[in-house]
Structure 1
Amino acid sequence: MEIIIKPAALEELKKANLEDGEGIRIEAVFIGSCSIYAEYSLKIDKKNEDDDLFEGEGVPVLVSKESQKHLYKRITLDFNPGLGFKLSSDEEVYRYNLKLQRV
């Protein structure tokens, strides 16, 4: 998986002041209903057993193997002060208005 962090997102992520062993978790959780839907979130978290550790512009990014099933191989994280973080791929926009939360 390739993770691209745009300059505006990188500046915002630097404000998070990650501690040793922490990374930015991109999470995609399948929501079972009458349609196929996943809920996306950004969290500051520590690496779990089933996580893969990626690096985007020097930022450690954690994505579980389960979350990777709901994401394309190349994803982009951007930031706009009015819209929050935007998670997307070349194929689709996953979600606007993501907020970075500490677990």
Structure 2
Amino acid sequence: MLRLACPYCGERDYVEFLYGGDASQKMPALDDDMDNWVDYVFFRDNPKGEHAEFWQHQHGCRQWLRVVRHTVTHAVMSVRPAREALPATEEKQVEVA
């Protein structure tokens, strides 16, 4: 079972969390071309390996988290508040656009 270590509430089962999408892509500017927005919203890669994702602790503190997990083994490498940037060591491992 997938367990996430919330920095505020401690380790919890994944059923308390809501998946919030890919955290490895940067959002286009608000006035950017519609094609860039369509790509950002609707088209996703399906990476194999470590990947950064947003999760919300919906049944706990309700905070948004940035989780780096392996998409095949579901091993969680790190969990931190979403407002914190990824450290340089994790940016190299996780594809960031």
Could you state the TM-score of these two structures normalised by the residue count of structure 1? 0.28
Q: Which structure has greater helix proportion?
A: 2
Q: Which structure has greater strand proportion?
A: 1
Could you state the TM-score of these two structures normalised by the residue count of structure 2? 0.29
